[in-house]
Structure 1
């Protein structure tokens, strides 16, 4: 049976670019929601990408460091249009949100902060929990089936994510290995040795670079390249890394500025890690924003296009498929666990709890309801309700 990758594409590169531009402009909810949108739109509704190609892309994105949704988008661009497709898909996906955070950075710097942001985030954060929860549910239902071992991997990763409030990269690999050993004894184990060794040495290289006396822009580039190269998973995982470097190590921002930067990432569409553009702008203006974004996304681009041909070549082998299925189960488990972690920070009282529940019910019952509509409504609710709750609690 032929797959999408083996047949002529039913869409043009221009159509894919427009879709990624639209997703980058209106795709709210963070990495969990964004990967769910891609499956819904490109696999289920339009049939541009096969479910097998999507699963491979999700597994590769989870295996490699860097922002999950951006890497998946690049891989889906690679499926039919190779390096050009990955490049255009990646740029189109990231560019809209980058321009938005740069504009917000300009306003923040010019007007001395964004006092309204806390109220907006109060409403949007709660709605985002509902959006992510529905995306996680759909991914779980689609990817796990009735396989008991995959469910066990899913539960373990979900629990670990909730307990540690982070994503532990080696557990994703472990999930793939466990399922691989069960379904298909390894015949090519030795081939991974060189790549694994190279990956193990990468953090050491980052340590060497961090010790060199560099100009401000070069320091920004090196730091954010490390954030893109050595942090696995979603924006949930990259935030502590950014805090350690931006606030604690380099003292580029204070605590309040960093919290505002995270809020900007949550109220803007596209990948959560696009907050690096906002941070870069506050540190060194437009040049800082561009260097920070390039430093973050270039490594994940290379980590996608370089192994992609081998994923396409060997992805149909039983051993590789078993490994990918295990990785995917682990990824979906971590994504589901992150819903609880984010909820703990965003559901702070009865109004936010009701807003999150209402979001889930609306998405459940109204199939064609667009998430940006919910986010816009939640922002307005936040602007109206937050001042009342804040005054009441004083």
Structure 2
């Protein structure tokens, strides 16, 4: 008689094997590690996000119990989770934040329960839904830092690629290392100033557009004096895109409220007539876009930090191909890091994004290097 009867009534005649036991123990370790990750993340949050993360931890606990029931006496000594899950736990305990949630989202997407014969359909469905839950939590964080992140990544990446291309192109033409250094520093300053000025104009223009689109609060004072029969207030709503009948009903309601109570209700001349577009809405939009000076200074600093890296070897006294090699190495590592961060926050493969960033950056630099060689040969 088999010492280990069929562990799953849904699979009669399928006894466990040593490979099954090893796989289940690995699943058990991973479920325990993932539950710990969610509890650690919950410990760094409050309110609704904390409750959601604790609910995810409870779900992982149910999955853990499933494998405990299957293993029975074969559970053995507790195993450690896989390397990725342990790294995730380390980051969750010390940092938390959107980066860890992005990693957790990818971890949930790697679940193999839909192909595991001894996992229930409910467990496979849970893992798929968990990915969407974590995606929603991560999206909150992505939205909160989207503006800062965009300025940081694009500014630093522009500085890395443009100044590496400039330094390599000039260096390949055969000029002295001092000329390459001065050219790189000039490119850093010119590019950073250009980025800062462009961001200043962009944000200032956006804020001016918001100001121009915000209803003038003084217009509300004219409402009591409008001709009720003509009711030109309806034209305001029609100009904002409402259908004629809907605009007329809205205007009639506003004037009727004004006649009955002496007050037209909140925001009668706002975009939707409600509090959502009240006085605080313009302030919220302005906060979302930030200040023009803040955006300009941030862009200047991010670009300069990236543009400085290709120049560092020349500042340290390196010359010739040695300087070129070190500059390419430093920029390559920086491009891999910015690409990986972009991949993490966007929920895609960090490796794919890192390699894409590297290829684009080195591709642009290679073009200018070849042109520099050609010009150098011609001038010689």
TM-score tier, shorter chain, comes to under 0.3
**Higher alpha-carbon Rg:** 2
TM-score (norm 2): 0.24
